[in-house]
Structure 1
Amino acid sequence: MTISVVYEDDWLVAVNKAAGLLVHRSWLDRHETRFAMQLTRDAVGCHVFPVHRLDRPTSGLLLFAKSAEVARTLTDSFAGRQAAKEYLAVVRGYMPEQGSLDYSLSHRPDAIADKFAATDKPAQPAVTHWQSLARIELPFAVSKKHATSRYSLVRLMPETGRKHQLRRHMAHLFHPIVGDTTHGDGRHNRFFREHYGCERLLLHAARLRLAHPVTAAPLALTAAPDPGWQSLICEFGWKRALD
């Protein structure tokens, strides 16, 4: 599991996080010794401060600040919905061309990560927009109900940043993200493991746009999917959809 630096200046550093890498030390895995925060610090030679979350199984753009002051400014920007995030995902079924879901999410504490968190939090507003980029129908009967299986490559644009928001929203729409072992469909996850050697969540933080916290200049960051993603994109003929 690795990270690669995709942007750096005197105040910020953005990395492309590998799927399966924790952002920082967590109750999720007390024995893990490698974290995105540590690897980024080692890569740039200074302490870094996290400003937003990226789930462990999700790959892609992760932004750090080089000082606590800049971190606070960025955290406020994310909380105030002033940062535009775009993700790529492969989901089960054919998604409509575009749409939005405004569906509040109740708090579901994790037995390990949220061990000390309050359990009586009210449902929080959550909004996700999507755009369908490409589709494919495969000649495999993953489900007994259908002789073929359909999948969509989608761009997801969350307005809010609730825990597991994109994964839960796609599951709510009956288009779970492939590789999601918590909210997804085990039959399709198994199909991708056995036929394509894909053992990860197919969710990638691809783009991030925001105002620079110090200069106020527009900042547009991108992170390319990893080779496993690229292999699937070529296999399914989806490369032109991302050009």
Structure 2
Amino acid sequence: MTLEIVFQDEYLVVVNKPSGLLVHRTHLAKDEEDAVVQRLRDQTGKWVFPVHRLDRGTSGVLVMAFSPEIARLLSEQFSENTTSKTYHCLVRGFCDDNGVIDYPLAKLNEQKGRSRFKLEGTEKDAETSFTCLMHYQLPIPVSRYDSMRLSWLEVTPKQGRKHQIRRHFKHHLNPLVGDSCYGCRHINKVVKEIWPEHFRLILHASKLEFTHPVSQEKMIMEAALDQQLKSVLEILSDHQV
């Protein structure tokens, strides 16, 4: 399947990554042939080099470089937190109108086995701001509750710790819908039953701001919600609170 290219020049390319697609093969998924890197190589006819990551289930803005040097310059912006990232997600419960989750996170290392991720090293600062855009209440029992409450959020992580948004909202007791690692199994079970064709991690990287490493121009890249997420929001629109 062809990737949606948001921007491309001779130095870099920005795509709207679909949910369910790896950015690149890993040592735990080395047998998978399909990944963003491979698709873009075939699509553009050039080698591409990853700059940052989006989780497999996350959709949205992803930038890649056409050379190791450009990849290095872009990666420095991410490591120095000079980029700005905006996400949208659906979480369990009613969140406040806005807030900041300030909760240090330890490094995660992926591993084989039942526990896929292992905490390593000391905790590092991690801060995530959010604004609640909408509350929804569906007349569907979940666990011991007689209705399902959800919030649609705009989220801005200050850093880029692995799984930062997902881990922060689990800590905040508002886990993301469709999150198989940190989510609520009761919510996920119900959502999978009522929206089987739309079940996925509901997390989308909507906007990314960075400085072009050659022209020094401020780049504001945006990626539209995919049809799957649009359909979920359309269903939920009848249950706004």
Normalising by structure 1, we get a TM-score of 0.91
CA contact (8 A) 1:2 1:17 kept: no
1:234 aligns with 2:234: yes
Q: What does residue range 130-149 of structure 1 map to in structure 2 within 5 Å?
A: 130-144=130-144, 146-149=145-148
CA contact (8 A) 1:60 1:204 kept: yes
Superimposed CA distance per residue, residues 63-95 of structure 1 (whole angstroms, 9 cap, x where no aligned partner): 001111111110111111111001110000111
- Please name the residue that 2:128 is paired with: 128
Code of the aligned partner of 2:72: R
Q: What does residue range 145-156 of structure 1 map to in structure 2 within 5 Å?
A: 146-156=145-155
Q: Per the alignment, do residues 234 and 42 of structure 1 end up closer, same or farther by CA in structure 2, a change over 3 Å counting? A: same
Q: What does residue range 54-73 of structure 1 map to in structure 2 within 5 Å?
A: 54-73=54-73
Deviation at 1:125, TM superposition (A): 1.3
1:183 aligns with 2:198: no
Structure 1 Cα separation of the partners of residues 19 and 131 of structure 2: 23
Q: What does residue range 20-39 of structure 1 map to in structure 2 within 5 Å?
A: 20-39=20-39
Code of the aligned partner of 2:175: P
Code of the aligned partner of 2:186: R
Secondary structure of 2:122 counterpart: coil
Normalising by structure 2, we get a TM-score of 0.92
- Please name the residue that 1:40 is paired with: 40
Structure 1 Cα separation of the partners of residues 135 and 230 of structure 2: 16
Code of the aligned partner of 2:87: Y
Q: Per residue, is there more strand in 1 or in 2?
A: 2
Deviation at 1:143, TM superposition (A): 2.2
- Please name the residue that 1:82 is paired with: 82
Deviation at 1:28, TM superposition (A): 2.8
CA contact (8 A) 1:27 1:112 kept: no
CA contact (8 A) 2:86 2:208 kept: yes
Deviation at 1:6, TM superposition (A): 1.2
Structure 1 Cα separation of the partners of residues 129 and 56 of structure 2: 22
- Please name the residue that 1:241 is paired with: none
Code of the aligned partner of 2:127: V
How many residue pairs get aligned? The number is 235
Q: Per the alignment, do residues 148 and 217 of structure 1 end up closer, same or farther by CA in structure 2, a change over 3 Å counting? A: same
Deviation at 1:118, TM superposition (A): 9.5
Q: Which ranges in structure 1 are unaligned for 5 or more consecutive residues?
A: 239-243
Deviation at 1:27, TM superposition (A): 2.2
Deviation at 1:107, TM superposition (A): 2.8
Question: Aligned-residue CA RMSD in angstroms?
Answer: 2.0
Code of the aligned partner of 2:153: V
Q: Per the alignment, do residues 229 and 45 of structure 1 end up closer, same or farther by CA in structure 2, a change over 3 Å counting? A: same
Secondary structure of 2:88 counterpart: strand
Structure 1 Cα separation of the partners of residues 143 and 223 of structure 2: 34
Q: Per the alignment, do residues 119 and 168 of structure 1 end up closer, same or farther by CA in structure 2, a change over 3 Å counting? A: closer
Code of the aligned partner of 2:102: D
Percent of aligned positions that are identical: 38
Code of the aligned partner of 1:99: G
Secondary structure of 1:71 counterpart: helix
- Please name the residue that 2:105 is paired with: 105
